[in-house]
Amino acid sequence: MFALRTIRNHWKKTILAAVVSGFGIQYLVNRYRESMLLRAYCLEAKKYGEELFNSNHQHRRVTVFLNPAANRGSSKALFERNVAPLLHLAGLEVTVLKTEYEGQAKKYIEVLDDTDAIIVAGGDGTLSEVITGLLRRKDHETVSQIPIGVIPLGKKNTVAKCLCPVSSSSVQQMAELTMSAIRSITKSISVIQFLGDEEKTAFAVSAFEWGAFTDSDVAKAKYWYFGPLKHYMAYVVTALKYWPPIKEAQLSYVLPCDGCSRCYTAPGQILWKWWHLFLPPQRQAQDIDYRKIVNNKCGVSYSEVISMSQFSAVNYRFQHTEAQKGPESVRITITDDKFSKSNFIRQGWKRIGMKIKNEAKEVSANERELLVKAFTLAPLGTANSGPESWFLLDNEQYELMKVSACLFSDKLRFFYCSSFTVPLESSEI
């Protein structure tokens, strides 16, 4: 009775204590599950280390590019707690290079030598620097064969979500991608090259974006005083202050081709070796004679002026692993400018929800899609678009300019995971 009387007399304090206790218990439960999950991954990594030790094979050399400033400065602690123990238990020879300023990863990659794998521990910006620096090297044909691992320690982690879509938590995603590097499970990934003014080149693995939705997303930092609502207020301000958010550009593009007489390339001459006297060289027979296939659209450039609210170009097969048929292509999505203010805000808030849940975006009625091999985009005007407008390459900001893009098939190799290394039950109490 005394306890009930106390609760009745101090019900506000009781409710507050119950809420705080509930959150505290949930936090402790989550930490315990994470520790049990990491313990299971450590045991799995230890098996690989023991096998390597018993086989007397040379240790694999791994170079880690760590951005300590990523994720509000918590990336170093996350790496040392969730990733580094797995790498060391697996018997890998690990070299950690910490970046201290923007662009330093590119400088590191220019002189990188004697490594068997690269692991990027940071966000999309750090990964973009590593890829661009790697493909700008004179010996890029050789160094591009070095497999790349991605540890998601940034805010959006677009590429990591595509490489490991099966994870249920950030800790499991980090552990799974680390184990994929330990097990050397790789796949070839196509890269989109962007050529801008003054022959500036940049590379993207996932997506290119430009438009009113992109500008609103970038501008959210200005509205920090709204706290967690700043993402949503950015679209409201755009609708009220910069309406209509119309973008105009000259778009030129070339359609993809499965292979035809126009793009057919004859097999190169086989370099003769002395053993060919005894073992004549053999060419791999082609199932299809592309010289007999006629495609009048192959290599033809199409051009049009577009007026829209949003333009995006994604590496189609990278974001849609089930699309294995047909030629590799870039999927362009053009969103028209026929929006009311309320619809614009609603669509913007919907984009925020899909990014949080990592859901695939469906094509709406006011969008047009094109599958292309290459394209050139020249902005013509940005009236009413706001004070600043940017291109986004894999969520990294680039200044507005005319860009030409083309797809390089199977240019890089990435570590990826398609299934769980450790079952979810290992994390249960």
pLDDT tens-digit profile of 101-121?
888 888 888 888 888 899 999
- For the stretch 340-348, contacts whose Cβ atoms lie closer than 8 Å and that sit 24 or more positions apart, written own/partner, are 341/239, 341/240, 341/243, 342/239, 344/212, 344/235, 344/238, 344/239, 344/245, 344/309, 345/235, 345/236, 345/239, 347/213, 348/213, 348/216, 348/232, 348/234, 348/235, 348/238
**Which pLDDT band, with edges at 50, 70 and 90, does 359 fall under?**
very low
In sequence order, what are the beta bridge partners of 277?
none
**Which pLDDT band, with edges at 50, 70 and 90, does 47 fall under?**
confident
> Distance (Å, rounded) from C-alpha 180 to C-alpha 417?
6
* Tens digit of each residue's pLDDT (9 = 90 or more) over 165-212: 766 678 888 888 988 888 888 888 888 888 887 667 888 888 888 888
3 state SS for 185-226: CEEEEEEEEEECHHHCEEEECCEEEEEHHHHHHHHHHHHHHH
> Distance (Å, rounded) from C-alpha 346 to C-alpha 235?
9
What is the rounded average pLDDT of the residues 330-336?
87
CA dist 24 → 29, 33, 77, 78 (Å): 9, 14, 22, 21
User: Does 425 score more than 60 pLDDT?
Assistant: no
What is the rounded average pLDDT of the residues 319-345?
74
In sequence order, what are the beta bridge partners of 122?
152
pLDDT for residue 281: 58
* Tens digit of each residue's pLDDT (9 = 90 or more) over 53-86: 777 677 788 999 998 888 788 888 888 888 889 9
Helices (H) and strands (E) in the chain, counts: 14, 16
Provide the CB-side half-sphere exposure for 350 (13 A, CA): 10
Do residues 288 and 336 lie in contact, with contact meaning Cβ atoms separated by under 8 Å?
no
**Residue-wise over 378-397: b if at least 16 C-beta within 10 A, else e?**
ebeebeebbeebbbbbbbbe
CA dist 333 → 50, 180, 324, 362, 409 (Å): 50, 32, 20, 11, 21
- Could you tell me which residues come within 8 angstroms of residue 263 by beta carbon, excluding any fewer than 6 positions away? 257, 290, 298, 299
208 closest CA partner among 395, 368, 347: 395
Q: What's the whole-number average pLDDT of the chain?
A: 78
